[in-house]
Structure 1
Amino acid sequence: MEDPRPFLGSNANTRVTRTIALSLPIITRLYSALHRISIGDRFDPQLDSEGYYDSDDDPPAADYGGYSKPFLVLDVIWNLAFVLVSVFVLLITFREKPSTPLRVWIFGYALQCLLHVGFVYLECLRRHQSRFSVGLDGFPLTETRSSIAKRLESMNTVISSIWWVFGFYWIVLGGQALLQDSPRLYWLAVVFLAFDVFFMVFCIVMACVVFFALFCCFPVLATIAYAMRIAEGASEHDIRTLPKFKYRWANSLRTPGNSRMQEPVELTMESGGSDSTPELPLHSEDSECCICLHQYVDGAELCALPCRHHFHVGCISKWLRINATCPLCKFNILRGDNLV
């Protein structure tokens, strides 16, 4: 089933395109395609009309950004300026005889700008009807008309891209002869093509900047901010107060390579560390320091955190001086809470 949503209202990329590229015929289509791939649909006016969004809240800010009055006025003025300049130059150059059909290309370029103004007007009218005239017998744009407008916009996209290539080809083909025979038509076409190239480069650069910021800078900054939030090193006093243990084999005949021994292994408190001797049972698969990834050997000095995770004393001391959290569960020994 075909998507009944209108050609402009269904994609936030069109609004961003109008804002950034100011609706140059070839540039808006290129940027629109790139933005559709990277962003996609973020607001559906059809869902809005059905009450999907909260009626007390405004639609997403991204939807209003391209349709705010200043941008709409600037968009319309920009395109109408191209139309008026084209008509003026075509009238005053009526006697010029260009060697290539440059006059036809300028007329087509102006027609595309004029069509875009019409599409914007139809979209604004449709939005006004759906927002203020729901349920009234007025002149609302139906879904069928919106679908037709969407198809016309797609056709205009393809034609604009091809038309730009034709203009560039005719300018190159005419060369110096075209400049001498029809200088005003020549320079007008060059200006239009130059604007398109400039905004094309601008859009590509902005896309690269956004891509770099999102996928390179933002993760690094987020990591740094996270590290600054949790990287509160423990003091020497805090580290010394942690319980220390001596690792002993429960069975003196057991060797580290004997995987058949499954009985628990006990940790005994270091002499002088406390009056009591707490026992922490460890299975054979749990007798490894996750910091240095080495198995505990008989007589190794271990340290247990309040979360009951244990490590080599040297390993966990170096770790806690930099970061006062457990390497496994992120338990903070200073605040006594888990970060994850």
Structure 2
Amino acid sequence: MDQQQRHVSSAGANSNPVLRFPAVRALPFARLIAAERRRLFLSDCADRRSDDDDGDCAYSRAVLVLDMVWNLAFVAVTAAVLLSTLRESPTTPLRLWLSGYAFECVLHMAFVYLEFCDSVSHTTSRYVYSIAKKLEPINTLASSLWWVLGFYWIVVGGQALLDDSPRLYWLTVVFLAFDVFFIIFCIGMACIVFFALFCFIPVIALAYAMRIREGASEEDIRSLPKYRFSQSNLLVMVDDIKKQLVNKARIDSCNGSHMSELSLHPDDSECCICLCPYVDGTELYRLPCTHHFHCGCISRWLRSKATCPLCKFNIRRGDTLV
């Protein structure tokens, strides 16, 4: 029972968007844009993990390393700039903003490592995940407000801030630019996915459907057995009391001719495409489904649709559509 509860809690935790994007640090506004899509993605991962406990959907070791290196780079650059700009005196508290930005990176790395450990060993307690779930919306809101605050301080400082603290100023601008770039990237990806779903997929489906239903080639048509029509009036006695008229097809080889002769009853000697009766000596094509037609009529039909007009038998694949 404990194993099942731990497994369910693990799946529920994976569906919780505690983490930013796995490969990179998701920046404040980008997290707001991508929150719902991330919830859907992680919930799908939780469903797949419920089917296969060994599957690692959210994080692999390579993604973990990439994420850690990326965020450590932000923290290292921030620390280096803060230590090298002790003599700068910014008119706005950019040092505080950069320190908060670095703290967000560290917090994100902790969340990523927690998720990775749970996906590998499933040892994370439900209590830890419940705390993380409560912190996630607070963290998202704080990150977004922190971005707005940094942008405000840059605008308010203006040229004086650039003159007094150029390195702090440009580092803050670079971090804010990363946020804007990530927003544009998320919007662009959403537009590409939308365009692919509503434009490309229907076009591909239509092309595939047309490919399936395309007509037969001339070689396919020429390979059909060809006959010369010969009328026959054969009455078959089926019962001693009743007399029924029955179709009977008889194929006889014509002496000295390469084309076989097809004898049909008058009631069955009509082309269902042009609705004209067969005349003695008329050339007919007989499909594998045993239905027969004028050569010209069925040739034009098969060039557009490789199926029998009567039973929908496909002469190319050898099956019936309906």
Counting only pairs closer than 5 Å after superposition, residues 228-307 of structure 1 correspond to structure 2 as 228-233=211-216, 235=218, 274-278=263-267, 301=276
Answer yes or no: is 1:209 the counterpart of 2:192: yes
Deviation readout 1:20-50 (Å, 9 max, x if unpaired): xx114326514532524775621217x84xx
Which residue among 158, 161, 166 is the counterpart of 2:149? 166
Which residue among 114, 117, 123 is the counterpart of 2:106? 114
**Correspondence for 2:96:** 104
* TM-score in terms of structure 1 length: 0.64
Q: Percent identity?
A: 49
Structure 1 residue identity aligned to 2:62 = P
Deviates more, 1:216-225 or 1:77-86: 216-225
Which residue among 25, 33, 36 is the counterpart of 2:35? 33
The Cα of 1:327 is off from its aligned counterpart by 7.8
| Count of aligned pairs between the two proteins | 274
The Cα of 1:233 is off from its aligned counterpart by 2.0
* TM-align CA RMSD: 4.2
**Correspondence for 1:336:** 318
Q: Indicate the SS of the match to 2:314.
A: coil
Which residue among 22, 44, 48 is the counterpart of 1:18? 22
**Correspondence for 1:135:** none
CA gap of 1:28–1:129, structure 2 versus 1, over 3 A, is farther
**Correspondence for 2:302:** 320
**Correspondence for 2:87:** 95
* TM-score in terms of structure 2 length: 0.67
Deviation readout 1:255-285 (Å, 9 max, x if unpaired): xxxxxxxxxxxxxxxxx985214469xxxxx
**Correspondence for 1:43:** 45
The structure that has the greater radius of gyration is: 2
**Correspondence for 1:143:** 126
Is the 1:11–1:43 contact (alpha carbons within 8 Å) kept by the matching residues of 2? no
Q: Structure 2: where are the runs of 5+ without partners?
A: 1-7, 230-260, 278-285
Take 2:13 and 2:154, find their aligned partners in 1: how far apart are those partners?
33
Take 2:310 and 2:99, find their aligned partners in 1: how far apart are those partners?
69
Q: Structure 1: where are the runs of 5+ without partners?
A: 131-139, 245-271, 281-288, 290-298
Structure 1 residue identity aligned to 2:307 = T
**Correspondence for 2:159:** 176
CA gap of 1:189–1:54, structure 2 versus 1, over 3 A, is closer
**Correspondence for 1:250:** none
CA gap of 1:319–1:172, structure 2 versus 1, over 3 A, is farther
CA gap of 1:99–1:12, structure 2 versus 1, over 3 A, is closer
The Cα of 1:193 is off from its aligned counterpart by 0.9
Take 1:220 and 1:239, find their aligned partners in 2: how far apart are those partners?
34
Deviation readout 1:37-66 (Å, 9 max, x if unpaired): 775621217x84xxx4246xx42xxx54x5
CA gap of 1:73–1:237, structure 2 versus 1, over 3 A, is closer
CA gap of 1:237–1:124, structure 2 versus 1, over 3 A, is closer
Q: Indicate the SS of the match to 2:87.
A: coil
Structure 1 residue identity aligned to 2:161 = L
Structure 1 residue identity aligned to 2:103 = L
Is the 1:100–1:170 contact (alpha carbons within 8 Å) kept by the matching residues of 2? yes
